[in-house]
């Protein structure tokens, strides 16, 4: 995005794409020749990883320490793994700045998103099969309503992102498609909050109350860590926001 250049020493420096939401410019940016893997825990990313690991551990430990139900137990396992994979897709792309790292990051981001989509789809298929065979209502709880809403928004987000990245001609060419990336990012960060709300609401389901017994506070700890890890690393310029320095 074009910005006015300073005309004297009294003017402020032009904003750069290295300024995070919280912190100083360059605090959460991938430096030249740094491995892409480092993006996963750079800066506050380590907090997000801690939250993701805690979340996975809570779900998987609770499921495997209780009787396994073939048409139910895979649902929380697959969905939690999908959330964790989606988190990695966000973290790996956030710090990219150089053109070559953006290209590699976008490919990794897309691959991880595809994997998370397959995990989510498998989890939904399991629970829907369970409801059809058991005759249980599809909308039985807040978690159910949020789950359907999240799945719908996720699908739109996946399609939108894929078209911008893989088929830019749909939007009139590469330059016009690039101008839409910020909207994909805005919706992606909003969607992450919806996903976190959906997983949090699962503690109030009958399955958790009667079988898993995962405490609300423990899920909230994981969710808060994810939020504290992801959102401070947001690169403002990638959202079309420029602050004066």
Summarize pLDDT for 126-155 with one digit per residue, the tens: 998 988 887 777 677 899 899 999 999 999
CA of residue 159 relative to chain centroid, distance: 15
CB-based contact 14:5 (threshold 8 Å)? yes
**Per-residue pLDDT band at 94 (split at 50, 70, 90):** very high
- Beta-carbon neighbour count of residue 51 at 10 Å? 23
Mean pLDDT of 56-78: 96
pLDDT of residue 237: 83
Residue whose tokens read 């990219």? 96
Give the global pTM.
0.88
User: Which residues on neighbouring strands pair with residue 20, listed in sequence order?
Assistant: 235
Task: Say if residue 133 is exposed, middle or buried (CB neighbours under 10 Å; 0-12, 13-18, 19+).
Answer: exposed
CB-based contact 93:39 (threshold 8 Å)? yes
For residue 226, pLDDT over 60 is answered with: yes
């Amino acid at each position: 995005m074009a910005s006015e250049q300073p005309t004297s020493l009294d003017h402020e420096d032009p904003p750069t794409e290295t300024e995070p939401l919280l912190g100083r410019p360059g605090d959460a940016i991938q430096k030249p020749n740094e491995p892409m893997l480092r993006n996963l825990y750079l800066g506050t990313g380590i907090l997000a990883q801690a939250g993701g690991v805690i979340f996975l551990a809570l779900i998987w430990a609770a499921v495997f320490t209780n009787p396994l139900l073939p048409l139910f137990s895979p649902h929380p396992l697959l969905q939690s793994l999908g959330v964790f994979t989606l988190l990695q897709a966000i973290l790996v792309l956030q710090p990219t700045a150089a053109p070559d790292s953006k290209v590699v990051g976008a490919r990794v981001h897309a691959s991880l998103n595809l994997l998370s989509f397959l995990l989510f789809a498998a989890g939904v298929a399991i629970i829907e099969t369970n409801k059809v065979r058991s005759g249980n209502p599809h909308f039985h709880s807040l978690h159910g309503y949020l789950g359907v809403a999240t799945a719908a928004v996720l699908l739109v987000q996946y399609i939108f992102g894929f078209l911008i990245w893989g088929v830019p001609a749909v939007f009139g060419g590469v330059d016009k498609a690039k101008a839409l990336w910020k909207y994909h990012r805005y919706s992606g960060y909003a969607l992450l909050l919806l996903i976190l709300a959906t997983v949090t609401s699962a503690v109030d389901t009958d399955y958790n109350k009667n079988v898993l017994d995962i405490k609300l506070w423990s899920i909230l700890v994981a969710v808060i860590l994810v939020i504290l890890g992801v959102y401070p690393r947001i690169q403002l310029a990638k959202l079309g926001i420029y602050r004066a320095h």
